[in-house]
Amino acid sequence: MPRTKQFNEEEILNKAMELFWEKGFHATSIQDLVSHLGINRASLYDTFGGKDELFNKAFAHYRSITGNMLNSIFGDTENVKAGFQKLFDKAIEETLEDDSRKGCFVVNTTTELIPGDKALLNILCENKSNLEALFTRFIQNGIDSGELPKSLDAESTALMLFTIYNGLRVVAKVDPNPIKLKKTVSAALSVLDG
């Protein structure tokens, strides 16, 4: 008779995501996973297929959570500048609440595993394109509605704000100074004024 699983897969995936996010892929051993997740090796391999597969699932889970958060912020906010302000404020808030200074899992993974992993590079390129497209659509809606100046180039502005958003997550790992982070955000968002 097959054994039944004694754990919640989504809870395990969340725990794995947090561990990989904090330690990185290479620094996380199978034993680290077993200890942190509270499941045995056999269950880890049977359910997730091993470290590589678990990392990929945990990384996809993070990207899904982040995408949902972005869609929620932009979907619930008609004012473009207020929407980006919410996004950046959330990033600053997460940074200040995170004593381990994990930063952004996507940025961390990019700097740790690229170049070298072509499959992951494709995933990261797709993730970047999707988020830039989301930023662009939100900005273009503001231009079309008359909230933002017609002279604003939606795509270039989206690329700049996406880059600053990711850069903010990196800088905050080194210097989580809320005053400096907020000044950076104010300067970045001033571009929306035209």
**pLDDT tens column, 142-169:** 999 999 999 999 999 999 999 999 999 9
Average of per-residue pLDDT values in the chain: 94
Measured CA distances, 2 to 5, 10, 46, 49, 185 (Å): 9, 21, 12, 18, 54
pLDDT band at 194 (very low <50, low <70, confident <90, very high): confident
- What's this model's pTM, rounded to 2 decimal places? 0.90
Domains with residue ranges and CATH for the chain:
7-56 (1.10.10.60), 77-193 (1.10.357.10)
* Residue 184 CB neighbour total at 10 angstroms: 18
pLDDT band at 3 (very low <50, low <70, confident <90, very high): low
Residue keyed to tokens 């049977």: 46
What SS3 string covers 122-177?
A: HHHHHHHHHHHHHHHHHHHHHHHHCCCCCCCCHHHHHHHHHHHHHHHHHHHHHCCC
Taking only the tens place, the pLDDT of each residue in 97-156 is 999 999 999 999 999 999 999 999 999 999 999 999 999 999 999 999 999 999 999 999
* Residue 49 CB neighbour total at 10 angstroms: 12
The confidence score (pLDDT) of residue 12 equals 93
